[in-house]
Structure 1
């Protein structure tokens, strides 16, 4: 038996060793800032390793073809590091004021965040269904613990229980679907599953039932309606720092396993899973946008916004092969397919970057004993802090799809892919629900600039958080005005990945 090539997994190996080391070092350190800086340094080193792989532009398999380093996985990992790193910067003061960094193991917040990231990295690079499941469980277990980190906080404990049940349902559906796919094809390797499915000798009934359960499991993980259930409760009940860890980088990992399972493994069955994604997309757009209008809690509103944004990601995924199905020839590496999948990838990255800033501003306004999570808490922000009110306005405009923000280009790219696939009616439905969704985003802008401030307390913002929030807001505008670089990076990554 030959030794596996460890080079493609260097980033994962380093992260695992570093996270374990940080946990041990923190036991002997009285200053909580040590774990914070070590965590950021760890993410930086992982970024350097992954960027070197991304620059090479090659696709390398290892561990008996169960793990891959390809352009798509490397680009998604780079943005995952960015998302987690920015989250740690935003969360430092917030978590400290709420006792989440105190005690003998105060660094557990950072260590659990790193281990959840490790699970996401494994999900992103997995080409074997069992490895996907192991990565999913590693990420989920760390996030369950993070939600319940405030042990004496009843709301957080309730949110942790609900999130655990949601995760159990997601894992159960996904694992049962995987077992049926294994029973139908005799393999857990996605390439072998695709080959057997294309051979025509597989029991299609079992395969279709497996796809139904796999898609349901993915829908739970994405938070798509009607599988969203307690997602708003989890967003509202979890500490804001943890909510961002749930709503940020994991969305990139969820997108990756959708591509791995549905496109790389089950493309020949696209006519079956497309219809399911279509229903999920329409439901998500309707439930997310309509229900968000009635919310007064900003975290809850953003949870329903997430459900609506998931609808757009699903539109990009289903648009990739609709035209090819109609022509009777499925192909994942056609120009229309890669354009659709890269649009969905670009949309996922856009959503994560925008979500980072939005929750970061909520943590900026929060202080000990006060959670700035009601829309009313943003009243008069334009007078208290004009610059950060501008940043929040930019973020809301981006989520609403107002040009020239990054969110507009993301929506346009997805809608263009859907229209190109021939689903004009679906494009119209998405545009209509986007117009409805603009209302609750613009309501926050109105609250900040035109309502009288209730709280006139000076806003104290640490320098690192101030810089990160400012760069976050500027990036949303810059990547909307000049979107070519990131769009082309997503297109090139998806083209090279599906081409192999």
Structure 2
């Protein structure tokens, strides 16, 4: 018999699943071009789910349910809350774009998005290899469908095929690695695997062999080099609303499964996966920043930017896996969590502007399409500038503090190699500043290509303004969010 506590751990998932099914039925009778009823019901559902997750996180309790397969802890619940808010913002930004391109004809955008979010929730809550993998598959299958949502668009269909083939390979890598771990330890439970490996009775070579495949699968999912080949093509080829959907909230879920698998389950092998992540981080910073300089397509440039940003996030995880004691690990992992949360916030703003400038028959994907934006709309040029400056890591924006926190974690370890990594990361950030500042230069100093004024629905305008303001405010007063991330990581590591 399943106890009451088990159901408490999955309240948000139950609400999300039930409402996704109800919204799919309600949508059948919604004939409006913009699917107003479906849209409002979806946002209300997501708001309720975000509040439920936030309340569970605020309780700061760690509860295991369903025989230890599911865990409800502060880190997981905060990531669920942030992922839900990110999806809400994505749907607000993406609805006018999707309506203009007849992507709302069947209402699948809303229902499939909710199933993708459910997949993220299962990934975040999983304390069992099988459950984590099932959540990952639900997210990726939903993502494939969303990328191919414009069935009459050859570019989107090609992007979906590339995503499907490479995503299937990544899933295979991860599944093979997890099966090796199961074969070596005899358990699929995260905590049991940790205890078995820590006992030292398992063949180390078998564990490392499985670990290589797990790290490769995770690197595919976050888009870290050299497993990044799908990111630029999918970002550029997918409809922009879907690009934002797969480039924002899922990064939070990917961070969660890295913590669940590498930290919660495979911490005794930290000396091995730390070296792998360090190589991935160096490659990501190098490939992402150098390749982005050559891009003229804005979405493709932001794709390479994502690769370099993930490299920075991985450095936080590398710094936390040394043997310097618990405090440095807690601080480093919380710096990585802070980094991924603020990166998602900034990504929402940058893609929000691209979606805003796109009109029927015009995608606004080239950097030159932003020419003279300040003359057409100082507000939107300002928001885009804040997003670009934050991604570049300029003070006083939140991106600067996020990078600083990761660098502090590296330097605090005291290892010469880690200090070298910090210096390398700073050099790569200087290179990266070029392509971010180029976008700002085009908006403020180039002559406008068109005299069309930029108009947006009130909900989009309001959310975009709040989004830009948060990037600035959290940069000036980052303490609250940093403390939240730190407390969440401490609670997670404690169990």
| Other structure's SS at 2:10 match | helix
Distance 1:175 1:186 in 2: 15
Q: Is the 8 A contact 2:50 2:82 kept in 1?
A: no
Distance 1:351 1:26 in 2: 33
User: Matched residue pairs, number?
Assistant: 489
Report the Cα offset of residue 323 of structure 1: 3.9
Distance 2:491 2:107 in 1: 39
Report the Cα offset of residue 230 of structure 1: 2.2
Report the Cα offset of residue 478 of structure 1: 0.1
Name structure 2 gaps, 5 residues minimum.
Answer: none
| Other structure's SS at 1:476 match | helix
Distance 2:19 2:125 in 1: 20
**Structure 2 residue 350 is matched with structure 1 residue 347:** no
Distance 2:182 2:57 in 1: 32
Residue aligning to 1:433: 428
Spell out the pairing of 1:252-271 with structure 2 (5 A cutoff).
252-271=252-271
**Structure 2 residue 477 is matched with structure 1 residue 482:** yes
Report the Cα offset of residue 167 of structure 1: 1.1
Distance 2:169 2:314 in 1: 20
Name structure 1 gaps, 5 residues minimum.
Answer: 325-330
Residue aligning to 1:327: none
Distance 1:84 1:126 in 2: 20
**Structure 2 residue 59 is matched with structure 1 residue 56:** yes
Residue aligning to 2:401: 409
Residue aligning to 2:184: 184
TM-score under structure 2 length normalisation: 0.98
Spell out the pairing of 1:187-226 with structure 2 (5 A cutoff).
187-226=187-226
Residue aligning to 2:365: 373
Spell out the pairing of 1:70-219 with structure 2 (5 A cutoff).
70-102=73-105, 106-219=106-219
Q: Deviations over 1:325-354 (max 9, x none)?
A: xxxxxx6xx111010000000000011000
Residue aligning to 1:11: 12
Distance 1:386 1:323 in 2: 50
Residue aligning to 1:280: 280
TM-score under structure 1 length normalisation: 0.97
Report the Cα offset of residue 381 of structure 1: 0.2
Q: Deviations over 1:154-196 (max 9, x none)?
A: 0000000011112101100000000000000000001000000
Spell out the pairing of 1:33-48 with structure 2 (5 A cutoff).
33-48=36-51
| Other structure's SS at 2:394 match | coil
RMSD: 0.8
Counterpart pick for 1:460 among 446, 455, 463: 455
Distance 2:231 2:166 in 1: 8
Q: Deviations over 1:189-231 (max 9, x none)?
A: 0100000001111011111100000000000001000000121
Distance 1:2 1:157 in 2: 44
- Of residues 218-227 and 162-171 in structure 1, the stretch that sits farther from structure 2 once superposed is 162-171
Distance 2:151 2:80 in 1: 31
**Structure 2 residue 438 is matched with structure 1 residue 443:** yes
Q: Deviations over 1:56-115 (max 9, x none)?
A: 11000101101111000011111101100000000010000001001xxx2110001110
Distance 2:412 2:58 in 1: 31
Q: Is the 8 A contact 2:235 2:299 kept in 1?
A: yes
